[in-house]
């Protein structure tokens, strides 16, 4: 699919509108907020043959009896994590070897999440995770520290493309 975008910077954010010939009549709108590299955790020294660099889809499901979940995209590249979805952007780091991986993410709400129970209440939160990986993707369980609450969830990553 080819997406044609036009946009401009407004303050710190970048606003885009676009269309694609494959889906006539459907508009694409995006507001992008730059991520601060200073806010990212330090990148650990990775092992060779760890989890593959690439673009991944991510499907998140809440644990501990909480309803909810989310979906987005994530880029893993040489120990760095960059990603986001409709309400959140996140950056972090990871290490991986022998089919196992672990890391940490800083999650930032760029657009207020709607619903009865906003997941992180508008707070920037730290998330730690660990799990396993294959050439096709990865799974992980994570804990987010949101104020005085800890929120557990699982994530499934599917590799979409190499990078």
**Any idea what DSSP says for residue 37?**
G
Residues contacting residue 135 through CB under 8 Å, at least 6 positions apart: 52, 159
What confidence score (pLDDT) does residue 131 get?
Answer: 96
Query: Which one is predicted more confidently, 154 or 17?
Result: 154
163 neighbors 77 (Cβ within 8 angstroms): yes
CATH code linked to domain 36-162: 2.40.128.380
Nearest to 71 by CA among 54, 91, 88, 93: 88
Q: Which tens digit of pLDDT belongs to each residue from 52-107?
A: 999 999 999 988 877 778 899 999 999 999 998 888 888 999 999 889 999 999 98
Q: Which tens digit of pLDDT belongs to each residue from 101-151?
A: 999 999 888 887 666 556 666 678 889 999 999 999 999 999 988 777 788
The CATH 2.40.128.380 domain(s) of the chain lie at: 36-162
3 state SS of 47: coil
Q: How confident is the model at residue 48 (pLDDT cuts 50, 70, 90)?
A: low
Distance (Å, whole) CA 25 – CA 126: 39
Dihedral, CA of residue 60, residue 92, residue 149 and residue 113, to nearest 10: -60
pTM listed for this prediction: 0.70
């Amino acid at each position: 699919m080819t997406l044609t975008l036009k946009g401009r910077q407004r303050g710190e954010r970048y606003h885009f509108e676009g269309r694609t010939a494959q889906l006539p009549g459907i508009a694409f709108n995006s507001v992008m907020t730059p991520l601060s590299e200073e806010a990212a955790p330090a990148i650990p020294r990775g092992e060779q043959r760890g989890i593959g660099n690439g673009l991944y889809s991510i499907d998140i499901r809440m644990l501990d009896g909480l309803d909810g979940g989310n979906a987005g995209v994530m880029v893993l590249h040489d120990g760095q994590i960059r990603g986001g979805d409709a309400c959140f952007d996140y950056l972090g780091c990871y290490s991986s070897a022998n089919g196992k991986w672990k890391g940490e993410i800083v999650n930032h709400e760029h657009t207020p999440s709607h619903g009865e129970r906003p997941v992180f209440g508008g707070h920037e939160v730290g998330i730690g995770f660990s799990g396993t990986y294959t050439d096709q993707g990865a799974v992980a369980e994570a804990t987010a520290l949101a104020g005085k609450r800890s929120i557990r969830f699982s994530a499934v990553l599917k590799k979409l493309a190499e990078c």
